Amino acid sequence: MSIPLNPDPRPLDHLTMMGAADAPALNDKGGSWTYAELEGAVGAAAAWLAAKGLSPGDRVASWLAKTRAACVLPLAAVRAGLVHVPVNPLLKRAQVAHILSDSGARLLIAGGPRLATLEAGDVLAACRTIEESELPLAGGGLAPSDANPQALAAILYTSGSTGRPKGVMLSHANLWLGAISVAHYLDVTPADRVLGVLPLSFDYGQNQLLSTWAAGGSVIPLDYLTARDVIKAIDRFEATSLAGVPPLWVQLLDADWPADTAARLKRLTNSGGALTPRLVRGLRERFPAARLFPMYGLTEAFRSTYLDPDLVDAHPDSIGRAIPFAEVSVVRPDGSRADADEPGELVHAGPLVAQGYWQDPERTSIRFKPAPAFSAYPGMAVWSGDTVVADREGLLRFVGRDDEMIKSSGNRISPTEVEEAVLAGGEAGEAVAMGVPDERLGQAIVVVVSAKGDAVEVEARLRNRLKRELPGFMQPHRYVWREALPRNANGKLDRSGLKAEVLS
């Protein structure tokens, strides 16, 4: 039975009290934690953080694999009155340095090998670095907090199309209500064992922890290298629920599955890109006992819509309807509500809307604007920039994205950030990065470049350098070399023309 939709948020660290004290809250290779042990770990870690001499509201960054410490810190940091900044473990030192500087982090917790990759100047003098092994995870400490649910709890960094990653500010209420909403419509129960393969720095990766604990279920955090690792974990831990992005589903459908292992899964949830009809068919055939939940969301409002599994076969291209606690509207350019079958911008209003971008009022004003006049929520709304259409039954279909973001392997990638990295070493004169359709990745990164010297030699040096400086998901898949890049009538690089040429 679904958990009740209580609209009154609580401090985020109270999630440790949602399950029975002796029920399993987390399972991994090291064994199992009960909810009582999870509460003890959160209390111990929070007390340790509180003793570090930090001020309320200071930022604590974590750059970790999917360890127990990584799972505890979202709750422990806020219990200590601090703001958690999770950093994608796939990022390299340049991206990490930007996040640390932009957030003003006072503490970075990471494993020794990752800390060893940082160079002089990557970490500001005001930020201390501490090895993960120093964080205590037992013994108790601070009791559950009485934090204001509207207080800032976390900053999640997401890429924008025109610059470096920006920090989305999320309150206790944003995260708590998001957890309650997802646990309710997915019908997560205390008997569920949720395999967590998505990065905890992603909004949905972190929500898998929070929504499972909100329902009193058990989380299985997993860092995997191959599809076979996922299959083995499902079998070993008897997982009932799995969330993924389209590229992972492609890998899993290509893998060999024992029939009884595939039958264990009762729920599949998708994010990070739309499912194709072919993937929908493949997942329905491979996992006949599982309910498939396609979803749409954006970090600025966490999650906006989901499609009821009973409608997937008849509407494989739909992103569904608004999730609980979300108001989703299709809006014309003049701010009025679009009619059925009329394209418009998807606008998300309600208590899941984030507090804006960290120390970035200019970009905040572009994405966060007053809700439409007809909205039931008179405050700020997220104007997504995405074009959608609602049919006469209210089901939404994604039409297109107005910005130039690249969506590859479930990651939002800034073309500007890729271009800056390509040009940083001096091998190329100009560069334009773009995403092109790719069956396995969703989009593959293609960069059109003007070469300084022999293109073959330059590309080899460029690829070698970027392997050291960019995470794998940001690596260009193909380079198109030109003597010079074309410009439009305004003297700017002709991005649309280059993309049309590459796609032709």
Phi then psi dihedrals of residue 208, to 5 deg = -60, -40
Euclidean distance between CA atoms 187 and 204, whole angstroms = 16
Contact 307, 293 (CB under 8 A): yes
Distances, alpha carbon 357 to alpha carbons 155, 168, 363, 366, in Å: 9, 5, 7, 10
Please report, to the nearest 10 degrees, the dihedral formed by the alpha carbons of residues 216, 221, 226, 232 taken in order: -60
Element (H, E) at 319: strand 318-322
- For 362, other C-beta atoms within 10 Å of its C-beta total 7
Q: What is the pLDDT along the chain (504 residues), one digit of tens a residue?
A: 579 999 999 999 999 999 999 999 999 999 999 999 999 999 999 999 999 999 999 999 999 999 999 999 999 999 999 999 999 999 999 999 999 999 999 999 999 999 999 999 999 999 999 999 999 999 879 999 999 999 999 999 987 555 678 999 999 999 999 999 999 999 999 999 999 999 999 999 999 999 999 999 999 999 999 999 999 999 999 999 999 988 789 889 999 999 999 999 999 999 877 787 878 889 999 999 999 999 998 899 989 999 999 999 999 889 999 999 999 999 999 999 999 999 999 999 999 999 999 999 999 999 999 999 999 999 999 999 988 999 999 999 888 766 677 888 888 787 878 888 898 888 888 889 999 999 888 899 999 998 777 888 899 999 999 999 999 999 999 999 998 888 765 566 788 889 888 998
Burial 80-90 (b: 16+ CB within 10 A, else e): bbbbbbbbbbe
Contact 319, 398 (CB under 8 A): yes
Rg (CA), the chain: 23
Q: For 28-46, give the DSSP string.
A: ETTEEEEHHHHHHHHHHHH
Contacts (Cβ under 8 Å, ≥6 apart) of 187: 1, 2
- For domain 406-503, give the CATH superfamily: ANL, C-terminal domain (3.30.300.30)
